């Protein structure tokens, strides 16, 4: 396993991050032995970060991690991040955050986490996207940033982060504030706009080179949705393919994936491995978060990491498809 700097925190993060979320679902839906095996294989392979959230399985992911991580030795303990949502309409955002971390720590059966992250989408104004909160809710007085800093001061979390989905201009403002240590950034082979310029009129939402912005401001990048909720990896649908980027569409992602497979076949590994290797090709990505639904998904992710970043020739072929919006632009 190779490791990369996690922004300006001084931490070194494994290139593959174990995603304990609802899209993969292995820590929520699998039997205990499968969950135990997944964690054991991940740790043995050198993965040193697990990411979860209060909302994953309505807390079941955090509860599973409580007993799974107790089975590891002190030297094997990975970094752990979890996430929370707030409702600004209810007021007292810092109070909501403090209650959230208390509930998460109780489920995780631990005294602190390494990173506590905002899970809401961020927009210029509240409600631009369902559930999104405004920039002022994040950066304003007694907002999310202030509430999170109080947790750092109390020793309940070492670092603070946010989920960089929502309205691009708002996300850039949060990054530029330099008040967050990390961002979970939507970036994949179908919509790489967080890492490179995309053509005007492209169908996918433009995140405006968020990864470069993060790098410029010392914000760590955890790459999310590398498999587009599994659409890139397989034609089998599990009903959890919920788009998170504005305007994202599963059928459109399926069409783009078909073109990608036609162009490259299995020359770069499996479809999942191609996607992970593409993300790893960006040196400013700290770690690629991969959701696991079954043990084979972990095997594929580890195989992608061993194969390493894609060659410049393969990247050029992929970017030719991106620049044509996968055939949608003439």
Residue 104, pLDDT above cutoff 80:
yes
At residue 246, the pLDDT reads: 73
At residue 229, the pLDDT reads: 82
At residue 68, the pLDDT reads: 96
Q: The pTM is what?
A: 0.95
Residue 244, pLDDT above cutoff 80:
no
Residues of the chain with pLDDT > 90, as a percent, come to 82
At residue 317, the pLDDT reads: 97
At residue 166, the pLDDT reads: 93
Helix, strand, or coil here: 43?
Answer: helix
The more confidently predicted of residues 262 and 23 is 262
Question: How deeply is 19 buried, as exposed, middle or buried, from its count of CB atoms within 10 A (0-12, 13-18, 19+)?
Answer: buried
The mean per-residue pLDDT over the stretch 157-186 comes to 97
Tell me the pLDDT tens digit for each residue of 197-241: 999 888 889 999 999 999 999 999 999 999 988 888 887 766 665
Provide the pairing of β-strand 113-118 with 122-123.
Answer: unpaired
Q: Is the distance from CB of 38 to CB of 45 less than 8 angstroms?
A: no
Provide the pLDDT confidence category of residue 257 given band limits of 50, 70 and 90.
Answer: very high
Tell me the pLDDT tens digit for each residue of 49-88: 999 999 988 899 999 999 999 999 999 999 999 999 999 9
Q: Return d(Cα 249, Cα 193) in angstroms, integer.
A: 16
Residue with token string 């490259």: 264
Q: Return d(Cα 225, Cα 118) in angstroms, integer.
A: 17
**What residue ranges define each of the domains in the chain, with the CATH number in brackets?**
3-323 (3.20.20.100)
Distance from the Cα of residue 303 to its chain's centroid: 19
Tell me the pLDDT tens digit for each residue of 27-43: 888 999 999 999 999 99
Phi, psi of 158 (to 5 degrees): -80, -40
At residue 267, the pLDDT reads: 94
Taking phi first (over 0 means left), then psi (-120 to 50 degrees means alpha), and beta for anything else, what does residue 135 get? alpha
Q: How far is CA 1 from CA 6, 79, 157, 250, in A?
A: 15, 15, 26, 32
What integer best gives the mean pLDDT of the chain?
94
């Amino acid at each position: 396993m190779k490791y990369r700097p996690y922004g300006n925190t001084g931490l070194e993060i494994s290139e593959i991050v174990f995603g304990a979320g609802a899209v993969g679902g292995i820590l929520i839906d699998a039997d205990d032995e499968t969950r135990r095996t997944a964690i054991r294989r991940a740790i043995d392979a050198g993965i040193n970060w697990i990411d979860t959230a209060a909302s994953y399985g309505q807390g079941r992911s955090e509860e599973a991690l409580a007993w799974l991580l107790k089975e590891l030795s002190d030297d094997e303990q990975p970094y752990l991040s979890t996430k929370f949502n707030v409702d600004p309409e209810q007021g007292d955002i810092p109070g909501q955050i403090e209650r959230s971390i208390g509930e998460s720590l109780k489920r995780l059966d631990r005294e602190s986490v390494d990173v506590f992250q905002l899970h809401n989408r961020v927009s210029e104004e509240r409600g631009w996207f369902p559930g999104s909160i405004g920039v002022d809710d994040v950066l304003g007085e007694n907002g999310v940033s202030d509430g999170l800093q109080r947790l750092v001061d109390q020793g309940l979390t070492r670092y603070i982060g946010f989920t960089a989905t929502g309205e691009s201009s708002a996300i850039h403002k949060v990054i530029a504030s330099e008040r967050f240590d990390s961002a979970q950034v939507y970036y994949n082979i179908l919509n790489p706009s967080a890492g490179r310029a995309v053509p005007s009129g492209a169908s996918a939402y433009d995140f405006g080179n968020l990864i470069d912005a993060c790098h410029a401001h010392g914000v760590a990048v955890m790459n999310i949705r590398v498999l587009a909720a599994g659409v890139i990896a397989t034609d089998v649908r599990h009903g959890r393919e919920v788009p998170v980027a504005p305007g994202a569409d599963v059928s459109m992602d399926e069409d783009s994936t078909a073109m990608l497979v036609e162009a490259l076949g299995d020359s770069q590994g499996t479809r999942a491995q191609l996607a992970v290797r593409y993300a790893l090709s960006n040196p400013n990505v700290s770690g690629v978060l991969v959701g696991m639904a079954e043990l084979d998904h972990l095997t594929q992710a580890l195989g992608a990491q061993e194969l390493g970043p894609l060659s410049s020739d393969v990247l050029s072929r992929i970017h030719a498809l991106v620049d044509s919006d996968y055939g949608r632009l003439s």
